[in-house]
Amino acid sequence: MKATGFLCDAATVRDGLLHVLGGGVTRTFSPEYPAPLGVVFASILEFEQATDPPGAYQVVVRVLSEDGKEQFLAASGEIRIDYVETPDSSLPGLVPFVVGLSNTELPRPGHYRVLVLVNGDEVWACTFGAYRGTIGDHESLGLRPTTPTAPVRSE
């Protein structure tokens, strides 16, 4: 089993498709702490028919301090996998899911981790930074707000 995921502004799942807005968030900003995280976690689990048996899989998403000593969110659910015969069963089965983290409260600026566990095994993790202020206050991070350019028009 494999997984991929990211933090984003918004995401939904409809008819087995993952719809994402503003994906790839690695930094959040707030003028004061504690502060809500204000993002959504979007993920796709990839099941291989040859190695991942049909049945129930327990999925847990955790938001932790970087050292793992503090937990700020633990969301869990069950995914049931039943394979269907197809002309090409070598293709993986993809299961998208979304976890709202918008109201998860971060106590202070710093680095935090998002973990995905399936049946107790870590299958994906990322680290993100939470900073005091606005993105414009943090050019030292290599961030500079830019003005969007006009879209290219073809004739």
Tell me the pLDDT tens digit for each residue of 75-90: 999 999 888 777 777 7
Confidence of residue 137 (pLDDT cuts 50, 70, 90): low
Q: Which pTM value belongs to this model?
A: 0.83
Q: Which residue is associated with the tokens 């107790």?
A: 120
Bond preceding residue 34 cis, omega within 30 of 0: yes
For residue 134, give Cα distances in angstroms to 12, 98, 131. Answer: 27, 26, 8
Dist CA 63 CA 43 (whole Å): 14
Q: What is the number of other CB atoms lying within 10 angstroms of the CB of residue 54? A: 12
The two tokens of residue 136 are: 């414009």
